[in-house]
Amino acid sequence: MTKHIHRILAVGAIACLASCAQKPSANIARQASPADSLNHMVLIPGGQFSMGADDNDGQPDEYPKHAVQLDSFWMDEHEVTNAEFALFVESTGYVTVAEKPVSMDEIMREMPPGSPEPDSSVLLPGSLVFTPPNHAVPLNDVSLWWSFIQGADWRHPQGPQSNITGKDHYPVTHIAYEDALAYAKWAGKRLPTEAEWEYAARGGLANQPYPWGSELLTEGKTKANTWNGRFPYENTQTDGHTSLAPVKTYAANAYGLYDMSGNVWELCADWFHSDYYKSVADSISHNPKGPAQGYDAEDPRSVKHVIRGGSFMCSDEYCKGYRVSARMKTSPESGLENLGFRCVMDIKK
């Protein structure tokens, strides 16, 4: 989907909708970055792993499993927070995609020929907000729980009357791909590749569906911030939260990474391609960066980026996105109330 079309289609821009662990070497130095005082980085030791679904719960684009070899890299221990993003904005004056209006000419250039002019309200700044109904609804129509809200952005996650006061340590949301890139560049970092993300999420475990192993999400102690109850209208708050949770609320995986399952989906650098795994199945991929161009078989007109990890909206009955192999996608210009990111950094040579 081309830039700004999500202001017209709103929810149509939603993404339809390993090796044994090694101990990090203490003598590997990491470069400093402006955000060092806020987000500690963890060394992810390089190695080879099998990427893709470990069970029958995966979507078609999660198969086949294939071998990937990665070099070591640094990764933020948690998702970028409101406080960290605020430091970036204060230092640079950056304005996010959700905070910017667009012109009618720009909108019309991206519409099919002969399309009527949309209502002028779509030109105003805004983003997609989770607006759950109070009753059961069909789960094949995301427009029943997503709404484009004018004035929604990272400072106002539910709309202009909301704020992030007291939520410094919550993950920043309503971040478009170019916003995440801008932050990463400022911090001296980059976005993770999809392979890096999955490898890190596994925490050194091989052929396990979750960052913590094989225990079901609903068994034992609470392991992640997901949807409890009947989606999208009833949340029993079994995990203590109806929506976002502060970072580091739940236990880290074996690499010391928090929230690799649930809370918010996380942007990756890769384009999404429905058949990418099939194209690399017959060889070992070394530090793969994904397909050269994006393709979504469910929405061929729209190119998208991969997002990983699931969110507070994931549940067994609707979205098992908290599995380490689960893949979703979103258009580059889209901001969502359940979409954030974390950064990585290459090892200094």
Q: Is residue 247 part of a domain?
A: no
Identify whether 227 is part of a domain.
Answer: no
Which of 10-14, 16-20, 295-299, 313-317 comes out lowest in average pLDDT? 16-20
The count of C-alpha atoms lying within 13 angstroms of the C-alpha of 227, restricted to the half-sphere facing its C-beta, is 21
Residue 13, pLDDT above cutoff 50: no
**Residue 243 in domain:** no
pLDDT of 117: 73
pLDDT for 305 equals 97
Q: Is 196 contained in some domain?
A: yes
Residue 262 pLDDT: 97
> Does 312 fall in a domain?
no
**Model pLDDT, residue 122:** 67
**Residue scoring higher pLDDT (14 or 341):** 341
CB-CB contact of 338 with 172 (8 Å): no
Which residues, 6 or more positions from 72, have their beta carbon under 8 angstroms from its beta carbon? Answer: 28, 43, 44, 45, 46, 347
Is the predicted pLDDT of residue 97 greater than 70, yes or no? yes
Give the residue among 90, 100, 132 at the shortest CA–CA distance from 6.
100
Could you report how far apart the first and last alpha carbons of the chain are, in Å? 38
- Do residues 329 and 290 touch, judged by C-beta distance below 8 A? no
Q: Assign 173 a pLDDT band (cuts: 50, 70, 90).
A: very high
Residue bearing tokens 């640079």: 92
What range defines the domain where residue 123 resides? Answer: 1-20+35-203+264-306+327-349
- Residue 187 falls inside a structural domain: yes
- Higher pLDDT pick, 19 / 23: 23
Query: The whole model's pTM is what?
Result: 0.89
Please report, as a single letter, which amino acid is at residue 24. Answer: P
Q: What is the pLDDT of residues 73-93, one digit of tens each?
A: 999 999 999 999 999 999 999
Q: What's the longest Cα–Cα distance across the chain?
A: 62
* Number of domains comprising the chain: 1
How confident is the prediction for the chain on average, in pLDDT? 88
Task: Name the nearest CA neighbour of 332 among 286, 296, 280, 285.
Answer: 296
User: What is residue 16's predicted lDDT score, i.e. its pLDDT?
Assistant: 38
Model confidence at 244: pLDDT above 50: yes
Residue range 264-298, pLDDT digits in tens: 999 999 999 999 999 999 999 999 999 999 999 99
In which band, very low, low, confident or very high, does the pLDDT at 11 lie, cut at 50, 70 and 90? very low
Q: What is the CATH number of the domain that holds 11?
A: 3.90.1580.10
Residues 271 and 294 sit within 8 Å (Cβ to Cβ): yes
Any domain includes 198: yes
Does residue 231 form part of some domain? no
Cβ(64)–Cβ(279) under 8 Å? Answer: no
Q: Give pLDDT, residue 325.
A: 97
